[in-house]
C-alpha cells in the first residue's frame, strides 16, 4: 500500500504587484511528497523556486489553489495555526545557515525544541543525539563562527529537524560549499531523510546532487514538471 503524501500542492497560484504590474510566479503548481522521499527542484534563478518553497512552507499564502499537510488544507488556517504548523511540522535549511551567533551549536539545536515547550534536559538530550548523528557532536560547544561551512550546515540541518517535522524544505543548502563538503553534507541529510521518514524538497543548482534524489522537477511557466536532462 502506497503512503499518502505528507505535503501536497494543488493548483497553487502566487502573484506579486511590481511597479504597477502583476507578476505571476506560480500558475497552477502541483506537487506531492511522500514520507522518506527526496525530490530535487532544479530551475534557473528567477523561476520561482523560493516562492514555491515559501508557499509550501506556509510562509506565504497562495492566491489560488491549496497546500495540504498530512491531508489537512492549510489555506484557511489562522496566522497562529500556520505558525504552529510551521514550528511543529516543517523544517527549513537555507543556503546560509542562519544560526544564532551568540549561542553554541548545541544551544542552536535546543532552542526550537524549548520554544515548542520541551524541557531543557530533554531538548539537550535530543540536540546531542542529532549532532552526533550529523557527525559534529565533538563541536557541540563551539559557536557558529568557530565552525567550518560544512559544520555550520550540519548544525543547521540538525536544528531544522529538532522538532521531528514531517517535511524538510531546503533552499540551496550546499550552495556555498565546495564539491567535497557539499557531497558530505548531502549524504548526512539523505541518511536523515531515509531513516526518519521525512519528506524533503531540495532546491539546488547542483545537478550531480539532484541526480542522487528520487526524482527531479523543474519549473515551466509557473508550473512544476518533470526535469528532462539535456
* DSSP letter string, 125-156: HHHHHHHHHTT-GGGTTS-GGGS-HHHHHHHH
C-alpha cell at 51: 516562492
Mean pLDDT of 179-202: 83
* Residue-level length of the chain: 230
**Chain mean pLDDT for the chain:** 87
Global pTM reads 0.86
| pLDDT band, residue 179 (cuts 50/70/90) | confident
| pLDDT band, residue 229 (cuts 50/70/90) | low
Place of cell 550552495: 175
pLDDT digits 0-9 by tens, 25-59: 899 999 999 998 999 999 877 788 888 999 999 99
% of the chain residues with pLDDT over 70: 98
Domain boundaries, the chain: 7-98+167-226
- The domain made up of 7-98+167-226 has a fold known as Rossmann fold (3.40.50)
27: nearest Cα among 5, 58, 48: 48
Amino acid at each position: 500500500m502506497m503512503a499518502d503524501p505528507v505535503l501536497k500542492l494543488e493548483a497553487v497560484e502566487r502573484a506579486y504587484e511590481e511597479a504597477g504590474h502583476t507578476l505571476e510566479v506560480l500558475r497552477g503548481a502541483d506537487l506531492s511528497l511522500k514520507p522518506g522521499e527526496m525530490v530535487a527542484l532544479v530551475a534557473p534563478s528567477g523561476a520561482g523556486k523560493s516562492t514555491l518553497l515559501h508557499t509550501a512552507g506556509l510562509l506565504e499564502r497562495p492566491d489560488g489553489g491549496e497546500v495540504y499537510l498530512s491531508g489537512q488544507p492549510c489555506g484557511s488556517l489562522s496566522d497562529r495555526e500556520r505558525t504552529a504548523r510551521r514550528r511543529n511540522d516543517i523544517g527549513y535549511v537555507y543556503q546560509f545557515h542562519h544560526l544564532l551567533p551568540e549561542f553554541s551549536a548545541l544551544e542552536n539545536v535546543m532552542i526550537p525544541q524549548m520554544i515548542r515547550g520541551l524541557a531543557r534536559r530533554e531538548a539537550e538530550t535530543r540536540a546531542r543525539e542529532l549532532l552526533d548523528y550529523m557527525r559534529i557532536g565533538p563541536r557541540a560547544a563551539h559557536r557558529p563562527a568557530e565552525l567550518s561551512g560544512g559544520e555550520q550546515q550540519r548544525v543547521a540541518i540538525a536544528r531544522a529537524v529538532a522538532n521531528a517535522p514531517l517535511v524538510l524544505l531546503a533552499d540551496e543548502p550546499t550552495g556555498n560549499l565546495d564539491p567535497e563538503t557539499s557531497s558530505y553534507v548531502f549524504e548526512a541529510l539523505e541518511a536523515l531523510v531515509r531513516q526518519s521518514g521525512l519528506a524533503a524538497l531540495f532546491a539546488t543548482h547542483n545537478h550531480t546532487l539532484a541526480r542522487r534524489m528520487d526524482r527531479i522537477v523543474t519549473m515551466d511557466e509557473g508550473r512544476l514538471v518533470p526535469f528532462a536532462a539535456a
